[in-house]
């Protein structure tokens, strides 16, 4: 006994439609990769272990045989006492991301005094995708080192002026360790600007080996200092901050994978990575070698 | 066996016919016992033989449940198939993660694409041989998991910027397999992909980063309208339950944002005072859920009535909480809740009476 149905869709239709969908989706994704990697990269730089770090170990990594290096970017905070220990990859409030820059990024700013209503209106806005300029081993990093030196000198002087004080001695040691970390281990990759127009940003930062451009997100925030409020921005993330290590380049990193990050006393870097950023501002690793 | 012999609409119709035969036989036995209808021996024999022949053919061709015992076993098989599919889909994910790093990129790509194609092929192959449909449904879920893994991993291998556009092929694959295998779980997956995509798109129109679009609940209203319109735009006669799933998710996508905005006006796009926004959305929530109950009752959509009723009660109870939780003794507060439930019962009873009366009048 056969039931008659009006549908003309057969399982062969399902097979062909499904296969076409799989092939088409893969083709679109891979053509995007080809476009990104075509021609001369938008920027290319040789970064070290300080800027591209191995993942932490643990259970999460135990069942993942893939390997990706994390882009370790930082910002120079307006407050020079603000310690970031060289690892500020979980969002930050850079000094340069002020109200004017936020307006240029498309956020609505109420003119006039920063009233509670204006603050409320401003922070209610949602994050936007922007282009972030990352500077490698440039003035921002040198300023961070200079700040660490100044801080070390100040704490050393305070400890010398208070010879019996444990507290001053501890602060002086922490400051010395901070300077050592800054000089030898901390990332030299600083987010220094953001915009919406890639060409305009590249014209402002023409050095393609020092200034990398990547997509990130910015959220509005308010800075408070001495009862004064200022509208500002919070650089929430760099959207692609994990860069997959190609299979052919992995042998150098495999032995280091389970060791973890080097201690401040250890010699660094253990590897250097040539990273390229393509036409669609998506990064990839071109080469990986011992320094 | 022809291509259509084991197609799902036919199987559903065969099962429905078998159920009708069982009900008919039970009622006939009652009528005979009460002496109202007595068939002579010849007619009875002919009728019984016809039914037996039909049921045997349906069992052979469509593997239907002939009685309540086989129906119970089928329910168990459905649960086992669902849990097995979830476990196997998770296994596919973890298996790939465990070994993908040991292969070069071209091999990774080949594994991802071929596993998506092979699992799709397996689903279609099983569909032609598995009359019960349980194994083909299980394979369909694995095929969907393989396709999601395929696109996700290509993004990871080549450091592609995450995009809401990936939700579109996932939704297309989920709908394709859901309709091909009569699989409500994949229909739900497809609907969730559509909700995420439409809300993300609406959010990006105002410049918001797509992953943050969910922070403005109003972004979901366009998806709700689309889902509620879907059963009207397409015919679901051969897919019982599918139209109901669209309506339930359409209502959820409308009412959950209203419930949130009714208590958190700051999340709205509207540049008004939070209290005004909250009041407006509470009113909209009450009106919307009452409208859902009314339309559901008129159109005989029980899931619409139930969803509307659930949200009407939720809106009402959260309002009661706002008004009286702090000022009333707890005993009195819960008494008010209880009395309001009784009042709702009385109103619904009245409504049922009105509908029953009007249907009685409309009968010829």
CA dist B117 → A19, B122, B123, B147, B156 (Å): 6, 9, 10, 8, 20
Asked if residue B322 and residue B188 are part of one domain, the reply reads: yes
Does B357 fall in a domain?
no
A14: which chain B residues are within 8 Å (Cβ-Cβ)? 123-124, 127, 176-177, 180
What is the per-residue pLDDT for B5?
A: 37
Asked if residue B60 and residue B191 are part of one domain, the reply reads: no
Strand partners for B238: none
Among the partner-chain residues B116, B117, B160, the one whose CB lies closest to the CB of A32 is B160
CA of B253 vs chain A CAs: smallest distance (Å): 21
Among the partner-chain residues A19, A24, A124, the one whose CB lies closest to the CB of B266 is A124
Does B145 fall in a domain?
no
B143: which chain A residues are within 8 Å (Cβ-Cβ)? 18
A25: which chain B residues are within 8 Å (Cβ-Cβ)? 147, 150-151, 169
Q: Render pLDDT for A268-284 as a digit per residue (tens, 0 to 9).
A: 678 999 999 999 999 99
Share above pLDDT 70 across residues of chain B, in percent, rounded to a whole number: 93
Does B213 fall in a domain?
yes
Indicate the pTM of the whole model.
0.84
Nearest CA in chain A to B54: A1
Higher pLDDT, B76 or B109: B109
Does B82 fall in a domain?
no
* Interface contact flag, B10 A18, Cβ < 8 Å: no
* Interface contact flag, B156 A246, Cβ < 8 Å: no
Mean pLDDT of B302-313: 92
Does B93 fall in a domain?
no
User: How many residue contacts between A and B have a Cβ separation below 8 Å?
Assistant: 161
Spell out a b/e string for A130-144, using b for 16 or more CB atoms within 10 Å of the CB, else e: bbbbbbbbbebbeeb
Last residue of a domain, one of B12, B42, B66: B66
A15: which chain B residues are within 8 Å (Cβ-Cβ)? 120-121, 124
CB A89 within 8 Å of CB A72: yes
What is the per-residue pLDDT for A55?
A: 82
pLDDT at B3 over 80: no
Last residue of a domain, one of B22, B43, B66: B66
Does B146 fall in a domain?
no
Among the partner-chain residues B3, B150, B162, the one whose CB lies closest to the CB of A239 is B162
What is the per-residue pLDDT for A79?
A: 62
* Interface contact flag, A18 B113, Cβ < 8 Å: no
B241: left (phi over 0), alpha (psi -120 to 50) or beta: left
Please give the DSSP secondary-structure letter assigned to residue B95.
Answer: H
CB A270 within 8 Å of CB A87: no
Q: Render pLDDT for B316-335 as a digit per residue (tens, 0 to 9).
A: 989 888 888 888 888 888 89
Does B283 fall in a domain?
yes
Does B208 fall in a domain?
yes
B293 CB-near residues (< 8 Å, 6+ apart): B304, B305, B308, B309, B312
Residues of chain A with confidence (pLDDT) below 50 = none
pLDDT at B235 over 80: no
ipTM of this complex: 0.87
Structure tokens at B361: 């009048």
Domain housing B51: 1-66
B62: which chain A residues are within 8 Å (Cβ-Cβ)? 3
* Interface contact flag, A282 B180, Cβ < 8 Å: no
CA of B212 vs chain A CAs: smallest distance (Å): 7
What is the per-residue pLDDT for A84?
A: 56
CB B38 within 8 Å of CB B32: yes
What is the per-residue pLDDT for B356?
A: 61
Last residue of a domain, one of B66, B93, B119: B66
What is the per-residue pLDDT for A26?
A: 97
Tell me how many domains chain B contains: 2
A65: which chain B residues are within 8 Å (Cβ-Cβ)? 97-102
Q: Render pLDDT for B129-168 as a digit per residue (tens, 0 to 9).
A: 876 778 888 899 999 999 999 999 999 999 999 999 999 9
């Amino acid at each position: 006994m056969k039931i008659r149905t009006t549908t003309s869709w057969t399982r062969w239709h399902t097979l062909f439609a499904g296969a076409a969908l799989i092939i088409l989706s893969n083709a679109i994704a891979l053509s995007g990769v080809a476009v990104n990697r075509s021609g001369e990269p938008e920027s290319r730089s040789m970064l070290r272990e300080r800027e591209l770090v191995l993942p932490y170990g643990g259970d999460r990594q135990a069942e993942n045989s893939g390997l990706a290096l994390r882009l370790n970017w930082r910002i120079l905070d307006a407050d020079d006492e603000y310690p970031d220990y060289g690892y500020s990859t979980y969002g930050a409030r850079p000094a340069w991301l002020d109200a004017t820059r936020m307006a240029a990024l498309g956020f609505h700013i109420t003119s006039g005094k920063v009233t509670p209503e204006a603050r409320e209106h401003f922070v209610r806005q949602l994050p936007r995708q922007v282009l972030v300029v990352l500077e490698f081993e440039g003035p921002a990093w040198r300023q961070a080192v200079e700040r660490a030196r100044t801080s070390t000198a100040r704490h050393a002087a305070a400890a010398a002026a208070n010879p019996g004080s444990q507290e001053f001695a501890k602060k002086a040691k922490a400051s010395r360790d901070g300077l050592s970390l800054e000089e030898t281990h901390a990332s030299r990759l600083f987010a220094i600007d953001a915009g919406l127009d890639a060409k305009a940003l590249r014209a402002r930062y023409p050095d393609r080996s020092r200034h990398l451009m990547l997509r990130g997100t910015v959220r509005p925030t308010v800075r408070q200092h001495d009862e004064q409020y200022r509208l500002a921005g919070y650089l929430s993330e760099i959207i692609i901050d994990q860069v997959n290590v190609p299979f052919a380049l992995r042998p150098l990193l495999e032995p280091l994978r389970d060791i973890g990050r080097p201690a401040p006393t250890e010699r660094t870097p253990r590897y250097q990575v040539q990273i390229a950023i393509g036409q669609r501002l998506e990064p990839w690793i071109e080469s990986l070698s011992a320094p | 066996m022809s291509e259509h012999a084991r197609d799902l609409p036919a199987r559903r119709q065969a099962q429905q016919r078998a159920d009708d035969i069982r009900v008919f036989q039970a009622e006939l036995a009652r009528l005979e016992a009460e002496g109202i209808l007595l068939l002579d021996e010849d007619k009875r024999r002919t009728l019984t033989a016809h039914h037996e022949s039909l049921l045997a053919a349906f069992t052979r061709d469509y593997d239907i449940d002939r009685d309540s015992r086989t129906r119970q076993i089928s329910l168990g098989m459905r649960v086992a198939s669902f849990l097995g599919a979830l476990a196997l889909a998770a296994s596919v994910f973890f298996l790939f993660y465990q070994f993908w790093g040991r292969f070069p990129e071209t091999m990774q790509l080949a594994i991802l694409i071929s596993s998506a194609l092979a699992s799709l092929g397996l689903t279609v192959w099983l569909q032609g041989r598995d009359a019960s449909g349980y194994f083909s449904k299980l394979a369909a879920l694995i095929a969907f998991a393989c396709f999601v893994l395929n696109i996700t991993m290509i993004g990871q291998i080549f450091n592609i910027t995450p995009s809401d556009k990936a939700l579109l092929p996932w939704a297309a694959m989920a709908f394709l397999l859901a309709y091909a295998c009569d699989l409500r779980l994949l229909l739900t997956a497809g609907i969730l992909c559509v909700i995420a995509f439409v809300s993300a798109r609406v959010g990006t129109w105002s410049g918001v980063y797509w992953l943050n679009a969910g922070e403005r609940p109003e972004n979901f209203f366009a998806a709700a309208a689309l889902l509620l319109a879907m059963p009207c735009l397409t015919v679901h006669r051969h897919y019982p339950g599918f139209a109901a799933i669209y309506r339930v998710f359409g209502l959820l996508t409308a009412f959950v944002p209203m419930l949130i905005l009714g208590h958190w006006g700051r999340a709205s796009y509207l540049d008004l005072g939070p209290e005004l926004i909250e009041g407006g959305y509470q009113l909209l929530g009450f009106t919307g859920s009452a409208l859902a109950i009314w339309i559901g009752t008129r159109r005989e959509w029980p899931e619409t009535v139930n969803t509307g009723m659930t949200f009407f009660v939720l809106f009402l109870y959260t309002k009661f909480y706002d008004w009286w939780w702090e000022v009333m003794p707890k005993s009195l507060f819960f008494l008010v809740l209880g009395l309001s439930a009784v009042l709702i019962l009385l109103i619904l009873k009245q409504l049922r009476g009105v509908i029953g009366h009007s249907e009685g009048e409309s009968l010829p």
